[in-house]
Chain A
Amino acid sequence: NAGVTQTPKFRVLKTGQSMTLLCAQDMNHEYMYWYRQDPGMGLRLIHYSVGEGTTAKGEVPDGYNVSRLKKQNFLLGLESAAPSQTSVYFCASSYALGRRTHEQYFGPGTRLTVT
């Protein structure tokens, strides 16, 4: 199993450009998440999905959109990149059983720089 993979690993954008980050998991997990990690800020949840075709806002959703057309994929889009979106982006997935989610599996991250 590949686990959670992210594409691309690195990207440099100019202000105003758009891009899509792809996350894929092969563990049949229901839940998928997008986080950003900035120095001194820990992990902040951008958007998440509890199943195919569903998405929801997290803590810092502004400037981002997401889609989950297939259970194994979760896409994060930046329509008009801003320097404040320079960060490391992590995707994660987990399964839910009963009334709780279980441990998350994280991808290796995408380092994005917006100039």
Chain B
Amino acid sequence: GNSVTQMEGPVTLSEEAFLTINCTYTATGYPSLFWYVQYPGEGLQLLLKATKADDKGSNKGFEATYRKETTSFHLEKGSVQVSDSAVYFCALSPQASGGSYIPTFGRGTSLIVHP
């Protein structure tokens, strides 16, 4: 079956530090890949996505590149802010040959940014 593995948290950084959250996946074919962010007390919201190999998704200074050869989609940001403190979820949407296409989520990585 499909699976998503992301690094455990919490990740604690100082403001303006570089961020990397690792995400690797297992799936057949060419899934779509996503990063979602969940701020305290809210639902998840899409941060960025990539739908084919070598695509780079970007938004709000965050970036992730779809690496088919390493089955990875690592999230990066060059300079984090206190307002980036949240939980980040890596997810995939499978490319199915029939039936339903249910997304698979990682367990989430909590990011804490200190001033």
Contacts and interface: CB of A to CB of B under 8 A. Distances in A.
Interface in A97-115: 99-109
B93 A100 contact: yes
A48 B93 CA distance: 15
Question: For this complex, into which size category does the number of interface residues on chain B fall?
Answer: 20 to 34
Contacts of B49: 103
Consensus secondary structure, chain A interface: strand
Contacts of A56: 100
A96 B99 CA distance: 12
Interface in A18-65: 31, 33, 40-43, 45, 48, 50, 56, 58
Contacts of A109: 42-43
A40 B8 CA distance: 10
Interface in A67-99: 90, 92, 94, 96, 99
Interface stretch (B18-26, B68-76, B77-85, B104-112): B104-112
Given A99-B96, A104-B91, 14 more contacts: A4-B43, A42-B89, A42-B108, A48-B102, A90-B43, A92-B43, A96-B101, A99-B97, A100-B96, A101-B93, A102-B32, A103-B49, A103-B93, A106-B44
15 contacts: A42-B105, A45-B102, A48-B100, A48-B102, A90-B43, A94-B103, A100-B31, A100-B101, A101-B101, A102-B93, A103-B46, A104-B36, A104-B44, A104-B91, A104-B103
